[in-house]
Structure 1
Amino acid sequence: MGRAGKSAAGRGVLRDLPPTFTYSQAMAAGVSRWQLYRLRDQGSIEVVGRGLYRRHNAEAADIDLIEIARRAPLATLCLATALARHGLTDEIPSRIDVAVPRGQHRPITTAPVAWHLFDPVTFEIGRTNLPLDFETSIGLYNAERSIIDAIRLRHREGPDLAYAALRRWLRQRGASPSKLLAMVRHFPKAERPLREALEILL
């Protein structure tokens, strides 16, 4: 089979691969290394990260978040990144704030990531899933958990982020201070400053 035929065959095999796939998955599907590089050069696929590719005809998605989710299955958007997702800050972080349980591997990514190590005991509290495409999702802390984290880490993230987010959250329909206070009991270091802030703002 000539090179053109091999390239066409590679494109055909890609239809059987998920939108985002690894080098190993491509090899297992019968796509040779030469075909893979050829498809990349032709624009049929794009490199998401080292050994990670995405079909050009796949639905639009946030490639950075897909890479993070594939590299670290427990990755969860937190702090300023999560607050921005919930419309609670206008801050645009230069790096994506991602939490993983303390003791978990923090992979090297092409995407700009600020890794945060959170206590495994409370890691799942307030954690939801954000779909990225039909096969991939990434963790996302809900608004209440994101506010609590910003308050308990205000010495690192700055107090303005936490209290501005709390003020904006209180103006949202459905905001429940009692729900926030119930959740903060799991984070003793944040409980007192949160209660004091609520007394001022309410």
Structure 2
Amino acid sequence: MSAVKPGTAEQAGLSRSALYRAARQGRLERIARGIYLPADAPVADWDRIEAATRRPDATICLASALAHHDLTDAIPIALDVAIPRGTRTPAGRGAIAWHQFDRATFDIGREEIPNPGTDQTIGMYSPERSIADAFRLRGEVGYELSREALKEWLRRGGKPARLMEIASRLPRAKSPVLRALEALA
């Protein structure tokens, strides 16, 4: 089941008052401000559900995407989520770090994956896009994250040509990725 919001309660067969009554009675669980799941719903990542519910174009990026692809041992303290630049950043109390990426390059390396525990999907950047983003935003995410992810990706048989194709399409990514690949060769 998808998350239910007061604005979408009617689509789930509930009035707003029935939604709040179900939450008070324990049949629905409030996972974030204005977002509810059935109390018997399977275990799920509430931050991912909140991000996908608040922004249908939400895309997991940077350290969170690298961790999803098992390219880093770092455990992100917040879910890194990209949204197109110029759109409203959602308010919320969840552990979500919202990042605004250029609209022209937003869909490069983006795919939809299922959001476990719900019938929702959420965007996820490919390993190549995530590595290129880590290099271009290395001042923000740390220099070690990008190098560690690149080494692991290459060890698993990653294709440098595919990485360079994506890095060439992103601002400030091509040169640092190329230098790192040359240093590791």
1:146-175 deviation digits (Å, cap 9, x = unpaired):
0000000111211101111101110114x1
Map of 1:137 onto structure 2: 121
Hey, what's the Cα distance between the residues in 2 that align with 1:19 and 1:127?
22
Tell me if structure 2 keeps the 8 A contact 1:68–1:109: no
Residue 71 of structure 1 deviates from its aligned partner by 0.4
Larger RCO: 1 or 2 (CA < 8 Å, sep 6+) = 2
Residue 30 of structure 1 deviates from its aligned partner by 4.3
Map of 1:94 onto structure 2: 77
Equivalent of 2:139 in 143, 155, 163: 155
- Rg larger in 1 or in 2? 1
Residue identity in the other structure for 2:150: L
Map of 2:164 onto structure 1: 181
Hey, what's the Cα distance between the residues in 2 that align with 1:147 and 1:70?
26
TM-score by length of 2: 0.91
Residue identity in the other structure for 1:71: R
1:119-166 deviation digits (Å, cap 9, x = unpaired):
100000000112115531111101000000000011121110111110
Map of 2:130 onto structure 1: 146
Q: Secondary structure at the match of 2:37?
A: strand
Hey, what's the Cα distance between the residues in 2 that align with 1:91 and 1:140?
18
1:20-46 deviation digits (Å, cap 9, x = unpaired):
21113335634452x434422332110
Map of 2:59 onto structure 1: 76
Q: Which moved more, 1:153-162 or 1:53-62?
A: 53-62
Aligned length: 183
Hey, what's the Cα distance between the residues in 2 that align with 1:188 and 1:47?
40
Gaps of 5+ in 1: 1-17
Q: Which moved more, 1:66-75 or 1:51-60?
A: 51-60
Map of 2:183 onto structure 1: 200
Supply the RMSD in Å over aligned alpha carbons: 1.8
Tell me if structure 2 keeps the 8 A contact 1:128–1:142: yes
Q: Percent identity?
A: 43
Residues 124 and 53 (structure 1), Cα distance of their counterparts in 2 relative to 1, 3 Å cut: same
Map of 1:190 onto structure 2: 173
